[in-house]
Each structure stands twice: as C-alpha cells, then as structure tokens.
Amino acid sequence: MATQQGVRRLTRIAVIADTHIGVSKTNFVDNWRRAAERVNDRRPDLTILLGDLTFDGANSDDDCAFAKEALADLKSPCLVLPGNHDVGDTDRGSRQPANAERIARWVRHFGADRWVSDEIAGWRLIGLNAQILGTGLSEEADQWRFLEEALLTDRRILLFTHQPLFLEHRQEGDRPYWTSVATARLRLLDVATRAGAVAIFSAHMHRALSFVSSGEPSLFWVPATSFLTRDTSMPPQNGAGMLGVTFLDLADDGFSVAFDPTPGLEPFHIEDFNGTLYPAPGK
C-alpha cells in the first residue's frame, strides 16, 4: 500500500468472534452469513476470526470442515484463532479439556493455532491459543517461547486471544472457564507490557468492552455474532451485550476501534435454548 506525502496510511481489520457454526446445530449459521456480508461490504484488508468459530470443533471433524468451508464467504485474507469450543478448555477438570488431540484436529483444518503477521507496515499482529495458557501442556511451553520471540520487534504490537485475561481486575481469582488463570494472566500482561504492546483483543464473553490503560496494553472485548447471554446466568462482568463485528483502523501513528452492531443478526439468547445446545457453565 503506497503512501503519498502528507497522506495518512490506513489499514482496516475486521474481527469476527464466537460464530459457533456447525453441521449438526445450525442455529447461528444465518448470523454468520450476515456478518460475513457486512464485513465484505466494508472491504477490510484483513479479517481475524477470534475463536469459537465452530459449534463443537473440539469434538467434531465435521464441524471443523464446515467452518473451514464457511471461511470462503469472506473476500479478504483471514487469520484464525481457536476458542474453547474449537480445541477445548483450559480447565483440566473440564468435560473437554484442551489437549494434543484437539489441537491437532484444529491444525489439520485451519493451520497453526498461533501466528505472527507483519503484513501491515509498522505493525506486528500476534495471535495466541488462549486455551492452553496455564494448562502445563507441552504446547503451552512452546507457545511461551514463541511469544517471547514474537515480541522482539520495533513494530507496534497488537495481541489477539480468545479468552479475556480477566473479568473485573488483574488480581482477581481464577475463573478457568471464563478467563486466563492468574499465573498465565500476570505473565502475559508482564511480557506484553515490557515489550510495549499497544492492545490485547479478546472474545468469549459475547460482550463489547474498551478498557484503556496507562502503563499496560489497552484491553478490548469484541462482540459475538451468534448469541447473547442473560446477565443472571453469568459471573459479574463489564462491557455491553451486543451482537456484531468489530473494525480496527490502523495508521502509522495509532489505531481506532469501532464495535459494529451488525444489522439483521438474530438476537438469540443461549439460555432460551434450555441447555439443548450447550450445557450451562458454572459462574
């Protein structure tokens, strides 16, 4: 992308999260298609899929294959990260813990579960598999080494994960289904801050949130396209419930974030399915 003297270079990134699409449970597929149309209309240079792309890819090759094919609905290049419904949970006591088998299934269909992109001049985008943070898996140790190398750059850094680091504050206790466990959270914040990372973008909560911080990376939660949740069924949290996509505009001197309440998305609430889609997680 050429830059003329006096012209501010701008690159647009679309972020889509928590689509939850699959072959056996197709409830949210129409919302995916409407979101993809919205993104295509805005003509981003890049689209990032921020986890829970599949309905049950953690257990289903068919759901992974379906979601992989659905990515062809997007006209821009894509970078994809896994969420808990794609590769399993960080919680070792979960009914579907993240493990080597589930990660290998993801890799077969979508490629690496972590990535670095330097395609945007002056910026480095780093995507991490949040579902292995704090697990003690060998894949986690590999990812920490990967991250430490990726942070060695003079470019501006944006980090992307599925799970948020915390719900209310950085010193809160562990909520392994909802957020990164404390040891991983504090380590990630520390290395990101020392590297001068600008922001960390997360999904998973199906809410939109901007938390601008001084001295640490700003934190953003991006909304889902699939469904909302009733506040009474969730742990205490910040942010606003909305369905939509997110657009980042990156320039040489900074960036802006716009949450887009995408028209035409069906406003599902997961509780209204009475457990027929997903079992209710604990608060």
> Is residue 207 included in any domain, yes or no?
yes
Domain annotation covers residue 24: yes
The string of pLDDT tens digits covering residues 212-264 is 877 899 999 999 999 999 877 778 778 899 999 999 999 988 999 999 999 99
Given a cut of 70, whether residue 9 has pLDDT beyond it is no
Residues spanned by the domain of 114 = 11-264
| pLDDT score, position 247 | 98
Tell me, yes or no, whether 5 lies in a domain.
no
What is the Cα–Cα distance from 130 to 127, expressed in whole angstroms? 9
Cβ contact 14:76 at 8 Å: yes
Q: Is the pLDDT of residue 86 over 90?
A: yes
Q: Can you give the pTM of this predicted structure?
A: 0.95
How many domains does the structure of the chain reveal?
A: 1
Q: What is the pLDDT, as a whole number, of residue 279?
A: 86
Does 275 reside within a domain? Answer: no
Classify residue 283: in a domain, yes or no.
no
Percentage of residues in the chain having pLDDT higher than 90: 86
End-to-end CA distance of the chain: 46
Q: Are 181 and 173 in contact (CB under 8 A)?
A: no
So what's the pLDDT on residue 7? 41
Asked whether residue 6 is assigned to any structural domain, the reply reads: no
Query: How do strand 115-117 and strand 123-127 relate by DSSP bridges?
Result: antiparallel
- Indicate which CATH number applies to the domain containing 208: 3.60.21.10
